[in-house]
Structure 1
Amino acid sequence: MKRYLIIQLARFGDLIQTKRLVKSLVNREGSEVHLCVDHSLAALASIVYPETKVHSIAAHGKEKSSHASMDVLLENISSFQALREQNFSEVFNLNFSPINFRVAALFSDLPVHGYFWKNGQEQIGTWPAMAMRWSRYRRLGINLMDFWAGYCPDMISPAQVNPQATPKGGGVGVVLSGRESRRSLPVETLSRILTTKASSLKTPAICLLGSKGEVDAGKKVVKSLPRHLQDKTVNLAGKTNWKELVEVVADLDLLITPDTGTMHLAAHLGTPTLAFFLSSAWCFETGPYGLGHTVFQADTSCLPCLESEPCPYDVKCLDCFNKPEFHRFLVTQKGTHAPDNLLTFISNFDELGLVFESTSGEDSHAEDRKIFRSIIHQFLTGQNVHASEMETPFIRKLYQDKDWSTLVPFGTIME
């Protein structure tokens, strides 16, 4: 038996987006897959990945500490010892953070993919180092689910990851906000959109979802809805644990959401999502995985941006969702009714993984994205490594000579 450890110490959505990697390792004959997550996500990890063994440590909240290494060590000594005793064959360390590097140091004598220790120093493997260079061209990028699965030469096909999304009969769910406020719709905008969409669907019920911090936002949404929708709306913000959230989302006809962990949970469960992407959120990087999802992507020249930087344009990417034309478009679904600076996509697959196909608006980067994805697929598979005339300029921007010198065999490039 081979034991594999995945160290995923990021947040809710990242845990769900690890699924293709998890399932690829589980699919290996005689494998035993372990997950290391933050304490706050241990219960969810056990629900989402019952086929794995979940370990948890105190990780969240330590990243900003000036004594992060010592804090983690003192608080997690017993957890680290338990991990070290598992006799893992390989380790997949997925996050670039001080805490991840410290956990990886436990396994400096093992093959560690991603971020690892070597000769007492922090090291970044070829695959994530390449991705850091690709981040300069975010409009071309690949889905995070597919990127993490790229550590496995035998990754399962994208169609095997999540079930095709279909309505379940339980009405419409609405995620009130994401972790980053600029990536979310303001209450007034969300209320108008919900009124338009819910009325056209004639939904039997509406449930508002969010953390305890969104309770008041939920109350404002309910108050702003027409009376006939208020009567069928329940505000569940701050009232669901992980198990209850899974049960609610699994029963929905549709989830209306920004780029959130709950969006990824819905995709995991096969619940259709209507996702709103703006600001730093770009659907080609973190869109809902699987068939049956729709994304409204704001498309202004400044996107995608950095959430950590102030917006010098007064969040103009939000404007398209406030225009009267958008509400008409929500009802008619006719591309001629869509406002400017908006792209509408439906989810699909290609040989590399998740893609989004435009149904309205002009996706001006579509052809470049196809070339980019072809290059990445060639790199991962070692197939057709002779670049075409169209691919050569991209290769010169995205790769260093040493990346290609280690192309074959695949397994040698994935540290």
Structure 2
Amino acid sequence: MKLTIALNSKILRAPRTGIGNYVAELAQALQKIPDLGMHYFSGSRWQDMLVSTQMAGYSRWAGAARRLPGAYVLRRTLEQQCFNRGANKLRPDVYHEPSLWPFNFSGRTVMTVHDLTHIHYPHTQPKDRLKEIERRLPSALVRVSRILVDSEFIGHEIKKYFGLPEQKIVVAPLACSSIFHPRVEQQLAARLQKLGLACRGFILSVGTLEPRKNLLLTLKAHARLPLPLQERFPLLVVGMPGWQAEELNAALSQAISSGHVRLAGYLDQADLACVMAAARIMVFPSLYEGFGLPVLEAMASGTPVIATACASLPEVAGPAGTYVDPQDEVGLTEQMRRLIEDDSAWMAQRLAGLERSAQFSWKKCAAITADVYRQVAND
């Protein structure tokens, strides 16, 4: 007998970032499990097939809506009504909410908590959204049957901040898309030419342009490299604009004017997979992550990673990562230089990263998630 599962997939209307990747990849893996009947809520309607194409003009629409007083609450109210209509007809055995704010639902609910950024970095959230998360999340965590987390680190945080029992929290580590894999130079030439880059001839930074990603450290460390190395290995910054980034924007503009830093903005997965596979190093000095998918994506692409030993990142990179203190720009410069100049060290870390990334898969993540659905349905 199949379980009827309702998954909120409305995040897929937005440009694809971490949670969107999670929903798309997990849903595709869950569809292959025979005893699950998947149904998807897109925010305005229910569908039996996963639609992962983003809404045209979503970023402009969402940005304009955020500036209207009460717009976030109004949107959620309308979405709740649409959710209710479909849920009353579908009567799912389990409803899975992949983010912090589950819809009201009288049946069994599973939610995924990817991080607690709203606690540590509240200024990165729109005010209306932050207010609603703070108001609703504590009761939602108590109400739901199980809480999925991406890492042991986040599981410990939830227990620490909300006092929940350990048996309610299940770790289901993420994976990366199969699009991230090593590539030969010929496969990369066209896209790299468009960006004015050479294969293995640049350093990569990936992440939303906001303070917690600690891009300032990367800019300062790169600027400390000897000038010939800055010229041979420019820094490519990939990411969408974030919140409270005035200081970062000023530093980034100055770095770009030097000619040794380039801003690519948001890249779709096809372009991102190419630059991941083409970079000499990826630098990811984030201050706080619930998982850190770019670290896994870079390792799966055969690119060594320098990260901070913060939050969940050591869980993801394990012994394959190089770690620096989040405030140590001198140390980061030294590690950049080592992986630029020492080919044997670079190759050893590349191979370690490929081995490490192979330990993660969406099939494993989906299997853990499906087991949670079955447990919840049988409670």
Describe how 1:199-218 pairs up with structure 2 within 5 A.
Answer: 207-212=236-241, 216-218=250-252
Q: Distance in 1 between matches of 2:238 and 2:316?
A: 20
Aligned to 2:167: none
SS at match of 1:236: strand
When residues 173 and 332 of structure 1 are mapped into structure 2, their CA distance, relative to the original with a 3 A threshold, is: closer
1:236 aligned onto 2:246? no
- Does the C-alpha gap of structure 1 residues 328 and 74 become closer, same or farther in structure 2, counting only changes over 3 Å? closer
The separation in 2 between residues aligned to 1:272 and 1:350, in whole angstroms, is 9
1:220 corresponds, among 254, 257, 275, to: 254
Which residue type is aligned with residue 22 of structure 1?
A
Aligned to 1:412: 375
Pick from 6, 23, 26: which aligns with 2:28?
23
* Distance (whole Å) between structure 1 residues aligned to residue 264 and residue 214 of structure 2: 21
Counterpart of 2:19 in structure 1 is: 14
**Paired residue for 1:166?**
183
The reply on whether 1:180 has 2:211 as its aligned counterpart is yes
| CA drift at 1:215 | 5.3
Contact kept in structure 1, 2:97 and 2:110, CA below 8 Å: yes
Q: Which residue of 1 aligns with 2:272?
A: 249
Cα separation, partners in 2 of 1:198 and 1:329, compared to 1, 3 Å: same
Matched, 1:5 2:7: yes
Deviation at 1:92, TM superposition (A): 1.4
- CA shift in 2, pair 1:296/1:208, >3 Å: same
What SS is found at the alignment partner of 2:353?
A: strand
Summarize the Cα distance change of 1:251–1:181 in structure 2 as closer, same or farther, 3 Å threshold.
Answer: same
2:40 equivalent in structure 1: 34
- Deviation, structure 1 residue 266: 9.2
**Aligned equivalent of 1:189:** 221
Q: Residue 85 of structure 1: SS of its match in structure 2?
A: helix
1:357-385, CA deviations, whole angstroms, 9 ceiling, x for partnerless residues? Answer: xxxxxxxxxxxxxxxxxxx99x969xxxx
**Which residue, 267, 276, 279 being the options, matches 2:297?**
267
Q: Which string of whole-angstrom CA distances, capped at 9 and with x for unpartnered residues, describes residues 48-105 of structure 1? A: x97558899x999999xxx9xx87543333322222333263321233x4xx14x1x1
Select the structure that is richer in helix: 2
Q: Decide whether aligned partners of structure 1 residues 77 and 282 sit closer, same or farther in structure 2, where only a CA change above 3 A counts.
A: closer
- List gaps (5 residues or longer) in structure 1: 40-48, 138-145, 151-157, 289-293, 301-314, 355-375, 382-407
Amino acid at match of 1:183: N
Distance 1:78 1:162, change over 3 A: same
TM-score of the pair, normalised by structure 2: 0.52
Q: Structure 1 346/409 Cα, relative in aligned 2: closer, same or farther at 3 Å?
A: closer
Matches within 5 A, 1:395-410: none
Q: Which residue in the other structure is 2:85 paired with? A: 85
**Cα offset, 1:13, TM superposition:** 2.1
Unaligned runs of 5+ in 2: 113-135, 160-169
Is the Cα contact below 8 Å between 1:163 and 1:268 reproduced in 2? yes
3-state SS of the aligned residue for 1:348?
Answer: helix
Determine the C-alpha separation between the residues in 2 that align with 1:262 and 1:159: 10
Tell me, yes or no, if the aligned pair for 2:302 and 2:353 is still in contact at 8 Å: no
The count of residues paired between Structure 1 and Structure 2 equals: 291
CA–CA distance in structure 2, aligned partners of residues 18 and 194 of structure 1: 42
Q: Closer, same or farther in 2 for the Cα pair 1:283/1:262, shift >3 Å? A: closer
- CA spacing shift, 1:128–1:282, aligned 2, 3 Å: closer
1:348 paired with 2:355, answer yes
Q: Taking structure 1 as the reference length, what is the TM-score of the superposition? A: 0.48
Partner of 1:74: 74
Separation of aligned partners in 2, 1:183 and 1:3: 38
State the shift of 1:182 in Å: 6.3
CA deviation string 1:113-142 (max 9, x = no partner) = 13799x9994244454995654599xxxxx
User: Is the CA contact (8 Å cut-off) linking 2:65 and 2:71 kept in structure 1?
Assistant: yes
Q: Which residue of 1 aligns with 2:341?
A: 331
Q: Aligned partners of 1:207 and 1:174: how far apart in 2?
A: 5
1:175 CA displacement: 3.0
Distance 1:349 1:23, change over 3 A: farther
Q: Is the 8 A contact 2:23 2:98 kept in 1?
A: no
CA distance in 2, matches of 1:85, 1:285: 41
Task: Give the distance between the partners of 1:207 and 1:195, measured in 2 at CA.
Answer: 16
Q: Is the 8 A contact 2:299 2:354 kept in 1?
A: no
- Tell me the CA shift for residue 332 of structure 1: 0.5
Q: Check 1:285–1:108 CA distance in 2 against 1; reply closer, same or farther (3 A cut).
A: farther
Q: Could you tell me how far apart the structure 2 residues matched to 1:88 and 1:54 are?
A: 27
**How big is the alpha-carbon RMSD for the aligned residues of Structure 1 and Structure 2?**
5.9
CA distance in 2, matches of 1:265, 1:134: 21
CA distance in 2, matches of 1:246, 1:234: 19
Distance of 1:34 and 1:194 partners within structure 2: 52
Alignment of 1:92-131 (within 5 A): 92-95=96-99, 97=100, 100-101=101-102, 103=103, 105=104, 107-109=105-107, 111-114=108-111, 122-128=142-148
- Conservation of the 8 A alpha-carbon contact between 1:92 and 1:112: yes
